[in-house]
Amino acid sequence: MRVQLIDSAYPVGSHSRGVSAQWVAWKCRTLGIETSYTAEGCEAVLVSSVSPVDAPKLSRMSRELPLVVGGAGALSPSAYIRHGATGVVLGDGTAFLEKVKSEGLSSAMNLPNVMTASNKAPTVDGAFDFACPAFTSEEGTRRIVIGRGCKHKCAFCHTSWATPFAEHDRPEAVAVAARAIVSAGDKIGYVTNDMAMHPWAKTLPPSVDASFSIDYLRKSGMPSQRQIRIGVEGLSERLRRFVNKPISRSDLVKCTSWLNAGGKSVRWFLIAGLPTETDEDWAELREAVQEWKKLTPKGVLALSFTAWCPDPSTPLAVMPMTDDYWPRVESFREWFFGGQGWSNRVKLMLPQQPESRLKKALLSMDATERQLREGGAQGGNSGVVYPFATACAAVRRRLLCEK
Ligand code: SF4
């Protein structure tokens, strides 16, 4: 059997493939399914997609062949079906590809984790095949997949609410592969949502960059990586508690300063526009930056913002979406560039503007703008059987009471 394999992050016709598409190519190879960059002689088109914002691109792909979508974006499957996908594979594609090989595409389309026009209530499969080799990412780093999903459950995080947690079951094989990569002089990285979830990962050669939690750093001491990412998420202590990622301002500032003193550059990942956000939350972030400047004579702090976007599996998905984060972003920018906030040791990456955030939310939820603005709607993915649906409903009830 021969299939066309497309990574929708790249222009149609491109020969580039990200880590997920490389995994599909590897799995097909091991099963004896041939993959091609063009549709010629193929029985189906497999599309690897990291975000449902790619759904409209399906209209530019072959309509003569069955079009099957997988990848992280497929965890919000409904928009792909509306844009012409024959099937969307939720979760890991191992079972799907094995079924394609053993019984053909039509049988595989009937698997419970495939959304089709006639199955709007798919499950999410969690049987990832960790036996794959390291894949090379765009920037040339050799990346070994060691974990899927996340044991923490931040209230906005689709990865953790839509994907069952799984980790590599042969740490010794990971260590051997990692040492071989380092010996060959290549840069190494690990694909996981949190290194701290794998206690055995401490024995691996250090990656070029990594995300750490404050708790993990407190227990493990100074990391060997030069670039440290911290998923701070909420702008203030209140917002961090609200999304289930409680980090005190004092811990955040002191930990960052300690990392800088150890020669590390630090990046905080922050979410603008979380439900319930107010001016006070931004004021607290300004104070945190000022405290860091006072405490830290040398070193760089980058602030990377993304705009909150509802994702269907998460507790926050039912909260109303408003655009009032944008004037707050602008006033933060003015404070930083034109006022006392300025420092050439602080780097800013601002979030998406409301228009592009809305575009993404419409596709992720597959709901109307009015539904998103009013909140409460589950959209076209309401039938999907996400693995933590019961716990999610409980957190939603609590958040709606706290609001
Ligand atoms: S935001 Fe990070 S720590 Fe929180 S659930 Fe998602 S992957 Fe885990």
Residue 240 CA, ligand 1 centroid: distance in Å: 12
Q: Which of 284, 291, 306, 302 is nearest to 344 (CA)?
A: 302
- Residue 232 near residue 203 (C-beta atoms within 8 A): no
Atom 7 (ligand 1) nearest CA? 193
150 CA: nearest ligand 1 atom: 8
CB 46 within 8 A of CB 37: no
Task: Quote the CA–CA distance of 236 and 249 in Å, as a whole number.
Answer: 7
Closest-lying ligand 1 atom to the alpha carbon of residue 160: 5
- Residue nearest atom 3 in ligand 1 by C-alpha distance: 152
Q: What is the Cα–Cα distance from 38 to 320, expressed in whole angstroms?
A: 42
For residue 193, the CA-to-ligand 1 centroid distance in Å is 7
DSSP annotation of 52: G
Q: Please give the distance, rounded to the nearest whole angstrom, from the Cα atom of residue 233 to the centre of ligand 1.
A: 9
pLDDT (0 to 100) of residue 224:
85
Phi-psi region for residue 21, left (φ > 0), alpha (ψ -120 to 50) or beta? alpha
Sign of the torsion formed by the C-alpha atoms of 40, 41, 42 and 48:
negative
Please give the distance, rounded to the nearest whole angstrom, from the Cα atom of residue 35 to the centre of ligand 1.
33
**Ligand 1 pocket list (CB less than 6 A):** 150, 152-154, 157, 159-160, 193-194, 231
Measured distance CA(112)–CA(90) in Å, rounded: 9
**Helix, strand, or coil here: 243?**
coil
Q: Cα separation of 159 and 392, whole Å?
A: 13
| Cβ–Cβ under 8 Å, residues 206 and 225 | yes
Alpha carbon of 97 to ligand 1 centroid (Å):
28
Q: Which amino acid is at 37?
A: Y
Which ligand 1 atom sits nearest the alpha carbon of residue 151?
A: 8
Query: CA-to-CA distance for 152 and 133, rounded, in angstroms?
Result: 27
Sign, CA dihedral 110-116-121-126, equals: positive
State the distance from the centre of ligand 1 to the C-alpha of 268, rounded, in angstroms: 14
Alpha-carbon torsion angle 108, 110, 113, 116, nearest 10: 110
Question: What are the backbone dihedrals phi and psi of residue 383, each rounded to the nearest 5 degrees, phi first?
Answer: -85, -15
Chain Cα centroid distance, residue 262: 29
- 152 contact partners, CB below 8 Å, separation of at least 6: 160, 194, 244, 245
Mutate to test the pocket of ligand 1, among 75, 151, 152 (most ligand atoms within 8 A of CB): 152
Ligand 1, atom nearest to 233 Cα: 1
Q: Give this prediction's pTM.
A: 0.93
Taking every pair of Cα atoms in the chain, the longest distance, rounded to a whole number of angstroms, is 66
Taken in order 260, 262, 265, 266, the sign of the CA dihedral is negative
Mutate which of 75, 146, 148, 150 to test ligand 1's pocket (most atoms within 8 Å of Cβ)? 150
Q: Supply the pLDDT for residue 289.
A: 97
CA of 174 to the centre of ligand 1 (A): 23
pLDDT value at residue 403 = 64
Instruction: Find the 157 Cα to ligand 1 centroid distance in Å.
Output: 6
- What is the pLDDT tens value at each position of the chain, 403 positions in all? 999 999 999 987 789 999 999 999 999 999 999 999 999 999 999 999 999 999 999 988 877 999 999 999 999 999 999 999 999 999 999 999 999 999 999 999 999 999 999 999 999 998 889 999 999 998 899 999 999 999 999 999 999 999 999 999 999 999 999 999 999 999 999 999 888 889 898 889 988 778 888 988 888 899 888 889 999 999 999 999 999 999 999 999 999 999 999 999 999 999 999 999 999 999 999 999 999 999 999 999 999 999 999 999 999 999 999 999 999 999 999 999 988 899 999 999 999 999 999 999 999 999 999 999 999 888 999 999 999 999 999 999 988 887 6
- Cα(151) to centroid of ligand 1, in Å? 8
Q: Name, in order, each residue with C-beta under 8 angstroms of 172's C-beta and a sequence gap of 6 or more.
A: none
Any idea how long the chain is?
403
Q: Which residue minimizes the CA distance to atom 6 of ligand 1?
A: 157
The sign of the torsion formed by the CA atoms of 130, 132, 134, 138 equals negative
Which residue's CA is the nearest one to ligand 1's atom 4? 154
In angstroms, what is the span from residue 84 Cα to ligand 1's centroid?
Answer: 31
